[in-house]
Structure 1
């Protein structure tokens, strides 16, 4: 009776149910991988740069949250995006690492960091973060560097308040004095205040530069006007000198004409005196009228009779009947 009451175990139905569940799991896993692939996540080559590694892990943390990836599927998804040395390392150590007690996504991250972020490099980055200061960086540049290094030294800034204190201590003395007396509970608070002060400082510098540029332009313009004034004064002085010199030269030429030879080398007597007896002789050499004389004022010699005071065309010996004219 008891055997009849016991339900009969159906092996065929069990196998079919298991196959369906397996198929469903494969389909779900495939859909999950497809969603991850559509986001085009970055790959990791095994670079010995902790910043690259941390950025890679952080990208997958955000991606897993977006696609609601189960904890058991995270390692399988992320290892598909290992390349180069990182991929070889995982192939050689996958079985050993997965066999560790309590293996999960968190332990995988620890093992990757142990391999590609060795303790010596961790110590160097910790010291770099400890000595980090704003210096000549802008507040935004300092903030970005602080975030980058703080992820590699989480022990020293484990709380928001410790981050805020560390960030404030690295600001320039000028900014620390402006923030003196204020208490910041979070990192974002001190960064926001410092960024606001930095923006005001830049605005002030731009305004001062604008004023200085205006003053320089006005100064240059004033010098230009002064130079122009001096130039005009000099030109007037030169013009006066030239006018005076021209007047003196004219007077000198007039005086020369009155005293004897003119500026062009004419005879000592004026044209009026030469023309008082009606005689004319326009010299082709000096273009002046000096009958009976050469250009230097000396009496000419007649080529017909060798007498002084007239030329051959005026000679009486050629025309005995010509009325005599005074020499």
Structure 2
């Protein structure tokens, strides 16, 4: 709402009226009854936001979200997924990310160890740079895993091919010898020479 107020230059006195105009359904009923119970003629924007947050974002919920933010880890999420969740919760726990350095440090703490170690070594000071480096490290690690898998498959393919050739040669030796003996007995010319 604050962005809209700035964009269309709503005066401080009109903010509550403007915001309450957009309330719908249950929220609108809540506001109508709250305004009637509050007893004041005009409710200031500051008072409106206090009442609204009290109702729809109570202290216990704020505390739960702060704890969730403090315990947030990347775990199995990608860096992008982790960053999205981090930004969502950081808005609700602004006391922990007041400065660029605090925000960068807090984000860094939740990264996977293999990404974290690369980021920490660079001693980055801004949130943006920490996120960018984490994305690069993650991308590099995925590429390394893919290359390792490709090499392993190629190695297995070469091993399987040589095993197949060896089996084929053994089969031909055994089968060829027996076949040549049978054909000789029956008067047919030899198909495979004795020496291989």
- Could you say which TM-score interval applies, normalised by the shorter chain? 0.7 to 0.9
Per the alignment, residue 209 of structure 1 pairs with: 146
**How far apart, in 2, do the equivalents of 1:230 and 1:167 lie?**
57
**2:69–2:90 contact (8 Å) kept in structure 1:** yes
Q: Give the Cα–Cα distance (whole angstroms) in 2 for the partners of residues 209 and 77 of structure 1.
A: 55
- The answer to whether structure 1 residue 124 and structure 2 residue 64 are counterparts is yes
For the 8 Å contact 1:75–1:105, the answer to whether it is kept is yes
Equivalent position of 2:50 in the other structure: 110
Per-residue displacement from partner, 1:25-47 (whole Å, max 9, x unpaired)?
xxxxxxxxxxxxxxxxxxxxxxx
1:179-215 residue CA offsets vs partner (Å, 9 max, x unmatched)? 147262xxxx134234323323322431442243144
- How far apart are 1:232 and its partner, in Å? 4.1
- Matching residue within 143, 149, 166 for 2:83: 143
* TM-superposed deviation, 1:112: 0.2
1:61 is matched with which residue? 2
Distance 1:100 1:122 in 2: 30
TM-score, normalization by structure 2: 0.77
Which residue number in structure 2 is paired with residue 93 of structure 1? 34
d(CA) in 1 for partners of 2:5, 2:122: 42
Matched, 1:193 2:130: yes
Consecutive unaligned residues of structure 1, counting only runs of 5 or more, are 1-59, 251-327
Who is 2:92 aligned against?
A: 152
- Indicate how the Cα distance of structure 1 residues 153 and 173 shifts in structure 2: closer, same or farther if over 3 A, else same: same
Q: 1:84 and 1:118 mapped to 2: Cα distance?
A: 20
The SS at the match of 1:72 is coil
* Equivalent residues of 1:139, 1:195 under 8 A apart: no
* Deviation per residue, 1:208-245 (Å, 9 max, x gap): 42243144234324422431343244234323322222
- Which of the numbers 92, 103, 114 marks the counterpart of 1:163? 103
Whichever structure has more helix as a proportion of its residues is 2
Give, in angstroms, the shift of residue 74 of structure 1.
2.1
**1:237 match:** 174
2:15 is equivalent to residue 74 of structure 1? yes
Residues paired across the two proteins, number: 187
Could you tell me which runs of 5 or more consecutive residues in structure 2 were left unpaired when the two chains were aligned.
188-196
- Measured after TM superposition, the shift of residue 111 of structure 1 is 1.0
The two structures, once aligned, show a CA RMSD in angstroms of 2.9
Which residue in the other structure is 2:190 paired with? none
